[in-house]
Structure 1
Amino acid sequence: MKNALAWRYATQKYDPTKKISTEDMQEILEAINSAPTSYGLQPFRLIHVKSPELRQQLRAAAFDQSPVTDASDLIVFTVNRNMENRHLDTYMQRIVEVREVERERLNRFQENIVGVLSNLSSEELIAWNTKQAYIGLGFGLVMAATLGIDSTPMEGFQKEKYDEILGLTDDHAVLVLTFGYRSEEDHTQHHKKVRKTLDQLVTIK
């Protein structure tokens, strides 16, 4: 694991001829799905964009960054703009199915969640949901590295444009994550990774 994390970097240039296997991509998606989130709500969705036409449009809305089109796979993380009862009802029903419990036993749990989230403004809720999405992104990065697959997390894109291109109304695009294989021409792969020493990072009290 340590070697895999040292090996990975934010890939700047991909080899567009190299594709990720269906099995490996499935492992990455399952890793993201297994990430912990507050209350287990997973208030985000993944859009796996495969259409070359859509990816060209998304690249234009990402300041012409080549990974958007040249990477093997492109994932857009979107978050809920609001947390209506229907979202919570769907989650509670999922708990009933997986844990085989009576729905009534979850009423207090749902009320507690509503009590917390109802105090958040729309902007605060999107920020809270985005934090959950970042946890999923981290799991995706680590799984990709262990599989020897390159990745690039991206915030540098026009989010409202992404919403428009992808036809989002209830959701809002917040993160982009590309996966693939580095090009030999990507010179940044040879740069030494610059990080704090642990003494600089960690304070012991």
Structure 2
Amino acid sequence: MKNALAWRYATQKYDPTKKISADDMTEILEAINSAPTSYGLQPFKLIHVKSPELRDQLRAASYDQSPVTDASDLVVFTVNRNIENQHIDSYMQRIVEVRDVERERLNRFQENIVGVLSTLNSAELVAWNAKQAYIGLGFGLVMAAHLGIDSTPMEGFNKERYDEILGLTDDHSILVLTFGYRSDEDHTQHHKKVRKTLDQLVTIK
């Protein structure tokens, strides 16, 4: 894993002729789905954009960044501006089904979630949801590297235009993750990574 993480970088130029297998893409999506989130709520969704026409439009809304169209796969993370009680109810029901517990045993857990979320305004809730999405992004990056697949996390795009292009109303585009295989012409792949030393990063007390 250490070698895989050292190998990966934010790919700037993809080879558009190389495609990820369906099985590998499923593994990446499953890794994102397995990421931990606060209370286990998973307050984000993924849009796997396969349409070339949509990706052309998204590239125009991404300051003409080539990975949007040239990478094999593109995933948009979205978050909701609200977490409805229905979403929490649905999560409680999944717990009942997966763990085979009585619904009544989850009432206090649900009340705790609702109580905490009720203290957040809309902007705070979007920020809280986004934090959960970034954990999922990290899992996707690591799984891709493990599979020898390149990736690029992106925040540099017009989020309002993405929402319009993707027909989003309640949900809001928060980040983009592309996957594929690096082009030989991407010279940034040869750049040495610049990171803090562990002594600079970690304080022991």
TM-score between both structures, scaled by the size of structure 1: 0.99
How far residue 101 of structure 1 moved from its aligned partner, in angstroms, is 1.3
CA distance in 1, matches of 2:178, 2:26: 14
CA distance in 1, matches of 2:118, 2:161: 28
- Tell me the residue number matched to 1:68: 68
CA distance in 1, matches of 2:15, 2:76: 20
- Tell me the residue number matched to 1:35: 35
User: What is the RMSD of the two structures over their aligned residues, measured on CA atoms?
Assistant: 0.6
CA distance in 2, matches of 1:107, 1:165: 39
- Tell me the residue number matched to 1:153: 153
- Tell me the residue number matched to 1:103: 103
CA distance in 1, matches of 2:43, 2:17: 34
SS at match of 1:35: coil
SS at match of 2:65: coil
The residue type equivalent to 2:109 in the other structure is F
CA distance in 2, matches of 1:179, 1:193: 20
SS at match of 1:162: helix
- Tell me the residue number matched to 1:200: 200
How far residue 19 of structure 1 moved from its aligned partner, in angstroms, is 0.2
- Tell me the residue number matched to 1:182: 182
| Aligned length in residues | 205
- Tell me the residue number matched to 1:18: 18
How far residue 26 of structure 1 moved from its aligned partner, in angstroms, is 0.6
CA distance in 2, matches of 1:169, 1:100: 35
SS at match of 2:169: coil
Unaligned runs of 5+ in 1: none
CA distance in 2, matches of 1:93, 1:172: 25
Percentage identity across aligned positions? 88
The residue type equivalent to 1:169 in the other structure is T
The residue type equivalent to 2:97 in the other structure is E
CA distance in 2, matches of 1:165, 1:102: 42
SS at match of 2:93: helix
How far residue 80 of structure 1 moved from its aligned partner, in angstroms, is 1.4
TM-score between both structures, scaled by the size of structure 2: 0.99
Question: 1:88-129 CA distances to partner (integer Å, 9 max, x unpaired)?
Answer: 111111111111112121111111000000010000000000
Structure 1 runs (4+) greater than 6 angstroms displaced: none
CA distance in 1, matches of 2:202, 2:88: 38
How far residue 135 of structure 1 moved from its aligned partner, in angstroms, is 0.2
